[in-house]
Amino acid sequence: MSGNSALKVKINGKAYEAEKDEYILEVCRRNCIPVPTLCHHDSLSGLGACRLCVVEVNEGNGNKVVVSCVYPLNRDCEVFTDSEKIKGIRKTILSMLRTRAPEGDLLAALCQMYGVAEEKRFTVSRPEKGVTESPAAKRLSAACILCGRCALACSSLGTGAISTMGRGTIKKVSTPYDEASADCIGCGSCAEVCPTKAIEYRETKGQRSIWGRDFKILSCTACGKDFATEEEYTFARKKAARETAGETLPSVLCETCRRRKSSDVFAAAFGERI
């Protein structure tokens, strides 16, 4: 990178360049400097929820700790991604997250990487004994770090079927009133973006079950491959304004076949190729 707007950024003692307003995490990623993240997703920016990506930055007025995925650079500076102070903060964050989500494999790996002690330093309230939870709800409560990625993915699509609700120790991700939501299209984007694989869904031939609802999966009329739920397909087509009111759906084509036949409906609907 070069040009008039380039900032000089020293990271862990080595010189790099960055664009004005570029996030520290972006600069690190571009230069293959490892910074651990959980809630950050390239297509769903701005969450800044897990705090795991903290780094130290000195912009001329002393070191301060910032959240690198949402910290834009606007002057020359020095960044430390792995100082003793940062490692200590990450250990504390990981210990808290593991208390909240003891079943997350990714979290377990990070805890091991940062040498987080096994003993619990924090506690979190769980559903009262006697309250029956479904296996999916149990998994969610044991692996969700409340990063908000799933809810943001859902609202970004325009469905808004799930959201974070409640506060403090009873905060959770769910559908309204914990009931099957008519707004859910069964696309599985929430489960796909979840960093801890906390959202369970079952898929058997021709059917997907998620968030307490069963969805029929459509097969491509050209190649026969299962590719989307009926609701997902209809939603994408409507969103892409490719369907007129009352028109019955024409041939149901999977992604590959549709690409062959015409321009990509999903790309128009979701703003990116999937």
Question: Between residues 92 and 219, which has the closer beta carbon with respect to ligand FES?
Answer: 92
Question: Between residues 33 and 93, which has the closer beta carbon with respect to ligand SF4?
Answer: 93
Select from 14-22, 43-51, 87-95, 159-167 the region that touches ligand FES (CB under 6 A): 43-51
Give the chain as a DSSP string. --STTPEEEEETTEEEEE-TT-BHHHHHHHTT-----SS--TTS-----S-TTEEEEESSS-EEEEEGGG-B--S-EEEESS-HHHHHHHHHHHHHHHHH-TT-HHHHHHHHHTT--SS-S-----PPTT----HHHHHHHHH-----HHHHHHHHHT----EEES-GGG-EEESGGGS--TT-----HHHHH-TT-----EEETTEEEETTEEEEEEE-TTT--EEEEHHHHHHHHHHTT-S-TTPPP-----HHHHHHHSS-HHHHHHSS--
Question: Between residues 67 and 253, which has the closer beta carbon with respect to ligand FES?
Answer: 67
Question: Site for ligand SF4 (CB under 6 A): how many residues?
Answer: 14
Residue 98 as a binder of ligand FES (CB under 6 A): the answer is no
Residue 48 as a binder of ligand FES (CB under 6 A): the answer is yes
Residue 150 as a binder of ligand FES (CB under 6 A): the answer is no
Residue 144 as a binder of ligand FES (CB under 6 A): the answer is no
User: What, of ligand FES, ligand SF4, none, does residue 217 touch, CB below 5 to 8 Å by kind?
Assistant: none
Q: How far is the CB of 39 from ligand SF4 (least distance, A)?
A: 7
Q: Which of 7, 23, 28, 37 binds ligand FES (CB under 6 A)?
A: 37
Question: Site for ligand FES (CB under 6 A): how many residues?
Answer: 12
Q: Which of 7, 24, 44, 53 binds ligand FES (CB under 6 A)?
A: 53
Interface positions, 170-189, toward ligand SF4 (CB under 6 A): 173
Q: How far is the CB of 165 from ligand SF4 (least distance, A)?
A: 11
